[in-house]
Structure 1
């Protein structure tokens, strides 16, 4: 029983989340980015509590329609939530079909349109991994390639000992390509960073060793990249967002788990109570066998309270 409760508690507390992105859509023409399978936290307005009527729509459909503190209709209510007090619309489990152009419209009590703000939402797959591969060249130069998996529209950048690579260190390539060649006398902590609008991941390492050509010739001391070292940059939360995620789907799942736990506990105590009453109140039948006649004799015993 304790094991079951422990597993349920882990399920209750350990709800996984995808990549979360933020967008301030209060400015007309805002460009928003969302992660495929992740969550978009979209700031539509300062507050909806005093707005007579508002709607958020794409070119063909009114997705969110509300009046003051009441949501009239939400086409994606199974994977979204809207908070009236701060005007934040959260959309979960983003897909490529969410990519497109949207608009927020606000009306007064006479039906006149007060605000029309456009937003564009672009859905991207996040970068999942990055790896460095190095190769010694004939004159002691080092060719380094940076490859990544996943990620739409990846952008590359390089640093050496925390500083952007310069032309004095590069024999070919530039700081924004995924393949570079470093000059012979260049060494240090080399970092390749791959990013798009919704993710950033870096590979880094510095292990000083000899640079040896495939034919066995020792060229020069060099830095070999430790491809298994990842340096992931932290993300920041905008100051307009409440850091506590008040997502309805998350709370619904947790509430369901708690409900199931309480039901299980209730059934357990009902079963225990029933067994206890049977032991105290009901006659116990004891069957013995007469050794001489081989006739079964039923002996009934009752509790001391009945005697």
Structure 2
């Protein structure tokens, strides 16, 4: 008979797909049961209900199940989609969140109602986790940020790389378990497992290679302030951002935009940086020329002749030259040639 009952339970589980079960038998005063939304849930209350009166009460809605004189009845949230099996098992054919709560299970001897035992059953119906998804993002210095997400009630995440748990040697670990940052040059198959109290799912992906960031592109904010925007080095940032308006968040609610120029921004500062270097070079040359001229003038001053009283002799040297003036000879008769007249003139050098 027990084998037949077990076969009935197995067939019921197969009919409704995945199922959960909970064992509230024995002398335990408190049992916690977990079920998945939309799936069957089996609650084992007593091993042999024959000769007993059974009552299951919700602490809010009241009685939801009774079994007396081999007749079972369901009430409230358990009505219309619950089954009681002869082996003392209650099945919710389709568990819903409204079934969650605290229940009191009471056992009485026979139909007379002699109280024997009471147990508490805490029932939690949760949404199972969905198949997780992975997203990979390259960071500026070659690291890879990987995020894992799944639907469901309170999913928890764990990671493995090549079937080994992540450690500080390959990743920057934090309390935020759904996101990890892998160090530069880390490669291999990364697996994310999402689970909660009633289900578990995982996904595996090969890590991408992150080349770092390419050359920056100049973008201008509405207030004319220039900013640098850099993209993954494997992308053509100039083509993608040329004369393009980009939007970004400055805070939780503040969104700003910028227009990007076509020319890439030079790491040395671009055109403005070149003009600055040229101005500094010209200024240095002018300063050197002025310094050289000052040194030359000082040298000339120190080597100029001075008077005994310390004054510089600014008189000029006189040079005398003999100048001869010849008179025109007469064509009629020649007179005795007279001595030429000597005139002295003062010539300044």
TM-score range relative to shorter protein = 0.5 to 0.7
* Alpha-carbon distance in 1 for matches of 2:15, 2:131: 20
* Alpha-carbon distance in 2 for matches of 1:132, 1:47: 49
- Identify which of 127, 130, 134 aligns with 1:128: 130
Residue 155 (structure 2) aligns with:
154
Cα offset, 1:129, TM superposition: 2.8
* Alpha-carbon distance in 1 for matches of 2:64, 2:15: 26
Please, which runs of 5 or more residues in structure 2 have no aligned partner? 1-13, 214-230, 235-349
Q: Cα deviation per residue 1:86-137 (whole Å; 9 max; x = unaligned)?
A: 2211102222211100121111134221110101011111112311011112
Residue 64 (structure 1) aligns with:
65
Residue 73 (structure 1) aligns with:
73
* TM-score, with structure 1 as normaliser: 0.59
* Alpha-carbon distance in 2 for matches of 1:217, 1:73: 69
1:204-215 counterparts in 2 under 5 A? 204-206=204-206, 210-213=209-212, 215=231
Q: Which has the higher contact order (CA 8 A, sep 6+)?
A: 1
Residue 189 (structure 1) aligns with:
189
Cα offset, 1:39, TM superposition: 1.2
Q: After TM superposition, what 4+ stretches of structure 1 lie above 6 angstroms from structure 2? A: none
Cα offset, 1:140, TM superposition: 1.8
* Alpha-carbon distance in 2 for matches of 1:96, 1:202: 25
* Alpha-carbon distance in 2 for matches of 1:72, 1:171: 58
Please, which runs of 5 or more residues in structure 1 have no aligned partner? 1-14, 219-307
Q: Cα deviation per residue 1:192-249 (whole Å; 9 max; x = unaligned)?
A: 1111112111111226x5324463536xxxxxxxxxxxxxxxxxxxxxxxxxxxxxxx
Matched, 1:22 2:21: yes
* Alpha-carbon distance in 2 for matches of 1:24, 1:78: 23
1:28-67 counterparts in 2 under 5 A? 28-49=29-50, 51-59=51-59, 60-67=61-68
Q: Cα deviation per residue 1:11-57 (whole Å; 9 max; x = unaligned)?
A: xxxx97354111112232111111112111111111212x3211112
- Rg comparison, structure with higher value: 2
RMSD between superposed Cα atoms in Å: 2.2
* Alpha-carbon distance in 2 for matches of 1:45, 1:177: 41
* TM-score, with structure 2 as normaliser: 0.52
